[in-house]
Amino acid sequence: MYSGNQQGMKEHKQYIAKTLELAKKGKGLVSPNPLAGALIVKNNRIISNGWHKAFGMPHAEIDALKKAGDKGKGATLYINLEPCCHYGKTAPCTKAIIAAGIKQVVCPMEDPNPLVAGKGFKELEKNGITVKRGILKEDAEKLNRAYITYITQKRPYVILKWAQTLDGKIATGNGDSKWITDEKTRDFVKRLRFETDALLVGINTIIRDNPSLDYIIPSFQTVKRALERKRYKKIILDPHLKMPRQSRLWEAQKSDILLVVSDKTSSQKIEGYRGRERCDILLIPEKNGEFHLRTLMDELYRKEIGIIMVEGGNYTLTSFWEEKLADEIMVFTGNKVLGGHNSLSPISGQEREHFSEAVKIKYSETKMIGNDLFVRGEPCFQG
C-alpha cells in the first residue's frame, strides 16, 4: 500500500478515479477481458487518456501511450489494473511502457491472472520505473469483480435477474407474467443485457413467451463499433430439444444462439438444428431433465464467455440458486400485488427448517425506475 504525502495521495486518488470512469466505457465489449482505463500525466497535467475498447483491441495503456507520443517520456501512467507482461491477443503492455520512457506507474491492484500476478509490476521496477500500488484498491476490484471471478474460478460471472410483484410473485399459476414491470424498466433491462456476454433462459420461457432476448446499445457506446464488436449469445437450456423452428429468437442478426441439449439426444434430431445460421449445439449431461450446471459452466468458460445473465422462470433460477451459482442478483419489483396459492415465486427448491438459513443479500444498488423498484446485490451463501 502506498503511503505518501497527503497532497500527493489526493492527486493519485483523483487520477485513479478517472481511470475507473474511463474503464466503464468498455462495458459490454471487453469481456472476458478486464475493464481498464489509463491516464498519462506530466507536471500535474493530463497528456492523454485511453481505455480498453473491445475484446481483442489494444489495451488501455497502449491506447493512451499512442495518443501521448513523445510527450509521455518522464510522465506518470495511471492504470486501474496491473499492466500485462505476456503475449496474448496483444503484445505485453509492460514493454511498451518501458519503451515510452514512463517514469512512474500508479495502479490499485495486481492482475489475478497467473500469467501476470505481480510479474508486470516487477518487470517495470526492474527497468527503473517507480510503481505505487493499492490506491483505491477496493474500488478497482469492485469494478472488475466479473473478470476476477472468471480468472480465479474459471467460470462465467453469473447474474440472476427477475421481475416480481410486491408480494414476491413472478407469474400466475399458469405461467402468465406480462407485464409485472413498466416499459421503462424493460428498456433498462435490455441495456443491462448489453453489459453481459450471454443471456440464459429455459426452453419453457421460449415456448410460452416467444421472446427476442435482445439488448439495447447504451447511449455512451458507438453504435457502429458495438454492432461490429459485441459478442452476445442467447443460451437456451433445452434438454429434449423442443426449440421451435419458427421463433423471434431466429430473427436476430446481432447474436448467436447456443442450444444446451442433453447428451442423450439422438444425433438425427440434433442434425435438424446444426444447419441453422449462427446456431450452435452444446451437449451436456442431464438427469431427469436437469443439467449438470457445473459442467455447463466449464463449457461456457472454454468458449470465453465471461458474464451471463440468467432470466427466470422459477425452475431455471432455482437450479442456479441451489448450486450457489449466483454472484449477483438483479430484482425488479413492480407496483402490483398478485396473490394466489399457486402463483410462482422466483426461488423455490429445498425447504429450510430455520429462518437463520436464509441467504442474506449485500446490497450494492437500490433505485426507483418509474414506478418500479430496482435492487442489486451479492448473495452471501453459507459454506
Burial class (CB in 10 A: 0-12, 13-18, 19+), 271: exposed
What's 117-141 look like in SS3? CCHHHHHHHHCCCEEEECCCHHHHH
Task: Report the alpha-carbon distance of residue 312 to residue 242 in Å, rounded.
Answer: 18
Residues in the chain: 383
Look at strands 328-333 and 372-380 and give their pairing.
antiparallel
One-letter amino acid of 253 = Q
Q: Is residue 299 among the annotated active site residues?
A: no
Nearest CA-CA partner of 282 in 266, 294, 305, 300: 300
Q: Which of 11, 21, 61, 123 is catalytic?
A: 61
- Which three cell numbers, joined as nine digits, stand for 377? 446485490
Task: Report the alpha-carbon distance of residue 377 to residue 330 in Å, rounded.
Answer: 7
Task: Report the alpha-carbon distance of residue 351 to residue 357 in Å, rounded.
Answer: 10
Instruction: Please list the active-site residues.
Output: 61
